Amino acid sequence: MQTNTTESPLTSLQFKHLSRFAHYLLTEQIQAFIDFQLHQARELNVPLLKVLDKMPQDQVAELTYIQNKEFLEYLARNEARLFIEISAGRWAENQLPQIDQHEIVAEDITLIGLTRKRAFLHFAVGYVASTEQLAALVNEIDLFITAQTTASTNVYIQLLQNKIDEHLHFIHQINTTTPGAIYVFDQEHYKGIYSNGKLKEILGYDHDDLNRLGPNVFNELIHPDDQITARKNAAKIRTIPDGHIHSYKFRIKKNGEYKWVRLYESVFKRNRDGVVTQTIGIALDVDREKRIADQLREREEQLLEAQNIARIGSSTWYFEEE
């Protein structure tokens, strides 16, 4: 996955005070620094802790020590910018130890930044010798946390965009490969609000054609013998429970001839009162199957009638082998 490589003005800064402070934490306070962050993370209920809580405690201790040691080493070498790039790249490429990239949520970005800042400030009080030094150090801490949060946010947005793109591709593949017309119908305004572009192929009319007709679609397009049944079935969708699929068929005038279609419909959306406002469905051309089935049924009836007229039945002969 490509990440945003545009350099932030913040990451081009040198963190001289933070570098010396990181060296102090690394050599004298590393475990206390780690423990303080974990305590703060639990107080703030950082979502990522749920992942760590599934791991054995000794493994958590080892993982947090390695990560914080590496983090402080980069800062001590005044390589804050490089650390931000590497950590963002690991997340973007799903190379974080023990953590899947999609297990990190937006709250983790802000809350982890906050816990790290609190830890810095907590130990800074006993480290600096003057208020001027403290002000300079706090300024660099703020700049560093801001830069890292910005880089992490960019990665998070890119991951979300990738998921959206994958989802859209998935929907596109379904829409283009499904042998039917998928549609969403607005029951309140009695019009279609979405279709996958196959309505013309299946029904003989496109999205706009059907919306122009509105409720008149029954009188104008549906076979007279099927209109009452079609109306009742269309209205029934308003009463079915969520997850239930309602199916019915009727003949629709297509290119001057009536063709059989079958609809499969379900509830797509309800309002606050629980009233169905939108339905989703798929329309299939079943004309050929329906006509074949009718022909087979007709031939079977003809055969039975011929047997009755001739007063014969159908039988099966069994021959025993000697």
Q: If 0-12 CB within 10 Å is exposed, 13-18 middle and 19+ buried, where does residue 137 land? A: buried
pLDDT at position 65: 95
pLDDT at position 314: 52
Q: How far apart are CA 135 and CA 181, in angstroms?
A: 65
Q: How far apart are CA 37 and CA 64, in angstroms?
A: 10
pLDDT at position 34: 96
- Output the six-digit token pair for 47: 């979502």
Q: Residue 159 in 3-state DSSP?
A: helix
Q: Residue 281 in 3-state DSSP?
A: strand
Q: How far apart are CA 247 and CA 215, in angstroms?
A: 19
Q: Name the nearest CA neighbour of 97 among 66, 122, 71.
A: 66
Q: Which residues lie below 8 Å from residue 268, measured CB to CB, with a gap of 6+?
A: 184, 278, 279, 280
Q: In this structure, which amino acid lies at residue 245?
A: I
- Output the six-digit token pair for 168: 């859209």
Q: Which residues lie below 8 Å from residue 91, measured CB to CB, with a gap of 6+?
A: 101, 104, 152, 155
Cβ pair 321, 238 in contact under 8 A: no
pLDDT in tens, 83-124: 999 999 999 999 998 889 999 999 999 999 999 999 999 999
Positions in the chain short of pLDDT 70: 1-13, 293-294, 301-302, 305-307, 310-322
Flag whether the pTM goes above 0.85.
no
Strand order in the sheet with 246-254: 191-195, 181-186, 276-285, 257-270, 246-254
Q: Residue 16 in 3-state DSSP?
A: helix
Report CA-CA distances (Å) from 222 to 51, 85, 285, 301.
57, 63, 14, 28
pLDDT in tens, 168-209: 888 778 777 788 899 999 999 999 999 888 888 888 898 899
Report CA-CA distances (Å) from 151 to 66, 81, 102, 117, 166.
22, 10, 16, 16, 23
Report CA-CA distances (Å) from 9 to 15, 135, 143, 148.
13, 20, 10, 12
- Output the six-digit token pair for 62: 């080892």
In the structure, how many helices (H) and strands (E) does the chain have?
A: 12, 5
Q: Spell 41-51 as b/e; 16+ CB within 10 A means b.
A: beebebbbbee
